[in-house]
Amino acid sequence: MSEQDKYSDVESAWLTCKHNHIGDTVTINIAGTQFRTLITTLNKLPLTRLGKLSADFTYIAQPVPNEIYFDRDSMYFRPILNFYRTNILHFPHDLCVPLIRLELEFWGISECDLAPCCQEILENFDILEKEKGKLEKEFNSFKTIKTTHYEGGCESWKQRVWTFLNDPTSSRGAKVWTTFYLLLLFTSIWTVALDSIEGYRVERPVNTSLLKDNLQFSDHQMLYLQKGSHPFLIYADNVVTSLFTLELLVKICVTPDMRGFLKNVFTIIDLLWAVLHWCWFTMYMTIIDTVVNLGSVVPVFLLTFLGMMSLSLRVLRLSRIVCYSSGLQVMILTLKASGKEIGLLILLLLMGSMVFGPLIFYAEMSVSSPNIENIPVGFWWAVVTMTTVGYGDMYPSAVSGYVVGGVCVVLGMVFTGLPISVISANFTKYQAFARSIRSQERKGKTGETGMEVR
């Protein structure tokens, strides 16, 4: 192997050097900035790049004597050269960590040689990068299934429809559709809410005596059995549900990943809600009169169950707003990351209720007609008091009860304050990352617009 091949691993650098007549100094030119040092200084670290070069400076003829040229950043080389001089490798803390690592790799120096303060900065940087990757993965979990880009044909049409339905930022039409979709969601909730008001229900011919004699119904059940839904509310609810069902069928037809789409939580909610709603509506329209007039209790409970499930899934469909709101995403991720703290909060409240429930019961025993009749009621009072809710349904009336209540309030504030501070810190972390994501997205759109203008 020739001397030229021996140093062929030096990237992006033109090396020229020649031992001077005295043989004790050498000039290192870093992108135009010259550093002069002793040959013996470089020999202190023989396994590094400069240490290996210092072993033989006569392997090539030089147009510029006594000089080595490297096309590197002089700002990062100064700490490198000081390391040869003082055996202490310290970088200013305002320098970029990835570039520091690139320089260390180029000059053949290990990160283990860094000063403790610099090693701590690199470790903190690694922790932040790992946490950033974790946060990015968590935020990406709210995004819809990635589309595969097709060129022309039917698949390209499917991709455009899928993007239109799932990405509000893809076009103005997609934003309008998303707004309309959210309005439909709220409309579906309000139709059920208005249907529960007696003034919005209409009379139906029923055998009232048979209902009262054979079945035990509550006032709310009698309201739903004796009065039917208003025709306008039925029409509005069916129109909204039909649009949701149509949108779901279109998504099934154009999804780029059928398996991933069907595994999605929002898809499962939509499918269950559509099936339960149409089953409930069919049963309600076909057998409700028979149920009311014959007094059959089983179909009534079945209709009630299907109605409750349909309403629950209808409300859960509002969770789709999470895909469009970064604030809601931050809240959900904060609660997810604060699971241990929330568990600790619940444990502290349970322990406090177990202590103050019996205490308030015995403290109120001297009262002739105590408001807190037993210890389980005391448990309820303790939880309400420790959380500073204070419904006012249960309260102490003796002096000893006032003392127990005061201590319960103070400890409740302490118990709830400690975990909430950690939850608040998690919220701040996710909120800051969400802001950085929005800032990067805005910069990306600005860059794309600038390129198009050019």
> Global pTM?
0.56
Confidence (pLDDT) at 338 = 85
Confidence (pLDDT) at 285 = 65
Cα separation, 91 vs 100, in Å, equals 8
| Closest to 49 (Cα-Cα) out of 12, 91, 5, 104 | 104
Q: Which residues contact 182 (CB under 8 A, 6 or more apart)?
A: 321, 324
Q: Which residue has the tokens 């600790």?
A: 344
Q: Phi and psi dihedrals of 243, rounded to 5? A: -65, -40
Cα separation, 377 vs 294, in Å, equals 42
Which regions of the chain are under pLDDT 50?
1-22, 58-62, 147-151, 214, 295, 298, 449, 451-454
Cα separation, 129 vs 108, in Å, equals 24
- DSSP 3-state of 25: strand
Neighbouring CB atoms inside 10 A of 63's CB total: 7
| All domains of the chain in start order, with CATH | 3-130 (3.30.710.10), 157-324 (no CATH), 332-445 (1.10.287.70)
Residues in the chain, overall count? 454
Question: Alpha helix (H) ranges present in 43-115?
Answer: 49-54, 74-86, 97-107
Confidence (pLDDT) at 11 = 35
Q: What is the pLDDT of residues 392-451, one digit of tens each?
A: 888 888 888 889 989 999 998 888 888 888 888 888 888 888 887 777 766 665 555 454
Cα separation, 359 vs 381, in Å, equals 11
Question: Alpha helix (H) ranges present in 255-398?
Answer: 258-263, 265-294, 297-316, 326-337, 339-363, 375-386
Residue 205, token pair as written in the block: 């011919």
Confidence (pLDDT) at 102 = 92
Q: What is the DSSP string of 223-252?
A: HHHHEEEPHHHHHHHHHHHHHHHHHHHHHH
